[in-house]
Amino acid sequence: MFGWEFPPFNSGGLGVACEGISKALSSSGVDLTFVLPFKIPVSAPWCRFVFADESGEMMSEGQIKNLFAGYTSHSNSAESKKYGLPEFISSDLIGRVRAYASKAGAVAQKNKHSVIHAHDWLTYPAGIAAKEVSGRPLVAHIHATEFDRSGSDNVNKDIYNIELEGFRGADVIVAVSERTKKKVVSKYGISPNKVKVVYNGIEFSNNSAVIEHNLHELKRNGNKIVLFVGRITLQKGPDYFVSMAEKVLAYEPNTFFVISGSGDMESEMIRMVASRGLSSKFIFCGFLRGKELDSVYKAADIFVMPSVSEPFGLVPLEAMISEVPVLVSKESGVSEILSTALKSHFWDIDDMADKVISVLRHKKFQNHLSANGREEVKAIHWKKAAESLISVYNSLDNAFGMFLFPGSPAVARTQVSHF
């Protein structure tokens, strides 16, 4: 399995998804080798790590921090903004991707495998190179297309071509939602038969954090909290969130809007909030993770994800685990599988505001959504994704049908290893 990042050294959802998928596949009996481009001190009990850049030095703490600091970079490079990489490394991101590919053949030679599984364009050239060496089938997993990252007008031609190369070279494409599949078909001209949809999952664990102190004070004084979590980029619709907030405040003035995240639209968002006179109602807490984020979830009355384009969108599932009602845009992949969620078009400010106000006003409605949402999210497990992936593997010609279905008596590890 070719990846680009892995928690805790990740900048976004791709690393989280790779962790969830590899863990669930492994517990379903798949012997898994996870390949990363750079040497980082990562480890996970369920899989073996291989670094393409084997000869290189183990990266230093500082370098890693820079590499996966999230999308906080203030450098001027558009690339670095988009991919959250510091300039020294992203200035030639495509070069890095190609360098990764140039070493993938050797990795394939050294490590026995039945299937090659590559995540997003960053690893497609590596996956293709590995396939050229071993002749094993290639699964191209698509978590986000260039269109999702850039909007339709700003597409990077080189990246688009790498994606296309990956889709064409793959034996099967796995998309994280129907809407992503549609994009692969319509924007890249791929046959729909070649694209399978496998939804992401999430690992359920109780959120036992206590409410963050300042928010606790606000709530004690009868205020409500509407939460936004995610990168502050065009893709996530922060501007729609601000417009929605303005409408909500007209009806529910005792409401605070908490923003967790950072990104290239952060200062624009802050300016927008200020120009509408809403600054006293917005709390920007920067990029949060782990316990800090958990304690903010605990305080929220509703979570809103107004994404303009979201191939999947794991964050609402985190909110649901924390018993927070969620409003997601219909332009998100996750909205395809959620029942206990409110849904609006990202551009339908009135509809979003109407729904948020309704949740803030009706305690019983809020309780219904939190209790049932928590139950629903328990069933959205990575295990399900792993089962679907295994049947995708088994459908491949050259995989020798050696992947076992979970639950079969022979779940003991097979001799198969794969990337």
Residue with Cβ nearer other proteins (187 or 343): 343
Dist CA 39 CA 359 (whole Å) = 47
In whole angstroms, how close is the CB of 342 to other proteins at the nearest point? Answer: 6
Phi, psi of 378 (to 5 degrees): -60, -30
User: Smallest distance from the beta carbon of 371 to other proteins, in angstroms?
Assistant: 9
How far apart CA 255 and CA 29 sit, in angstroms, is 49
Q: Which of 82, 143, 181, 355 binds other proteins (CB under 8 A)?
A: 355
Strand 31-36 relative to strand 48-51, pairing: parallel
Least distance in Å: CB of 349 to other proteins? 11
Tokens describing residue 261: 């995240």
Does 132 contact other proteins by CB under 8 A?
A: no
Residue 351 interacting with other proteins (CB under 8 A)? yes
At its nearest, how many Å lie between other proteins and the CB of residue 259? 23
Q: Does 350 bind other proteins (CB under 8 A)?
A: yes
343 lines the binding site for other proteins (CB under 8 A):
yes
Binding of other proteins by 110 (CB under 8 A): no
Which of 288, 418, 310, 410 has the alpha carbon at shortest distance from 29? 410
Return the closest-CA partner of residue 224 out of 247, 254, 259: 254
Any contact of residue 361 with other proteins (CB under 8 A)? Answer: yes
Question: Is 219 or 247 the residue whose CB approaches other proteins more closely?
Answer: 247
Selected binder of other proteins within 219, 368, 381, 384 (CB under 8 A)? 368
Count of residues of this chain found to bind other proteins when the rule CB under 8 A is applied: 21
220 interacts with other proteins by CB under 8 A:
no
One residue of 43, 55, 153, 364 binding other proteins per CB under 8 A? 364
Report how far apart the first and last C-alpha atoms of the chain are (Å, whole number).
Answer: 3
| The binder of other proteins chosen from 271, 362, 378, 413 (CB under 8 A) | 362
CA distance linking residue 167 with residue 34, whole number of Å: 21
Q: Which of 161, 186, 367, 391 binds other proteins (CB under 8 A)?
A: 367
Give the start-end residues of each E strand in 52-201.
116-119, 138-142, 172-175, 195-197
Are 132 and 163 in contact by the 8 Å Cβ rule? The answer is: no
Distance, in Å, from the CA atom of 200 to the CA atom of 119, rounded to the nearest integer, reads 13
Choose, by CB under 8 A, the member of 72, 207, 372, 388 that binds other proteins.
372
The yes or no reply on residue 376 touching other proteins (CB under 8 A) is yes
Return all residues near 140 (Cβ < 8 A) that are at least 6 apart.
118, 124, 127, 166, 167, 169, 170, 172, 173, 174
Window of 123-131, 172-180, 368-376, 382-390 that interacts with other proteins by CB under 8 A: 368-376
Give residue for tokens 């923003």.
259
DSSP run (H or E) holding 48: strand 48-51
Residue (74 or 361) nearer to other proteins, CB: 361
- What is the nearest approach in angstroms of other proteins to the Cβ of residue 251? 6
Task: Report if residue 358 touches other proteins, rule: CB under 8 A.
Answer: yes
Binders in 236-255 for other proteins, by CB under 8 A:
247, 251
Among positions 289-328, residues that touch other proteins (CB under 8 A) are none
Residue 259 interacting with other proteins (CB under 8 A): no
Beta strands 195-197 and 342-344: pairing type?
unpaired
Give CA separation, 92 vs 207, 229, 235, in Å.
40, 29, 23
Q: Which residues bind other proteins (CB under 8 A)?
A: 247, 251, 339, 342-343, 350-351, 353-355, 357-358, 361-362, 364-365, 367-369, 372, 376
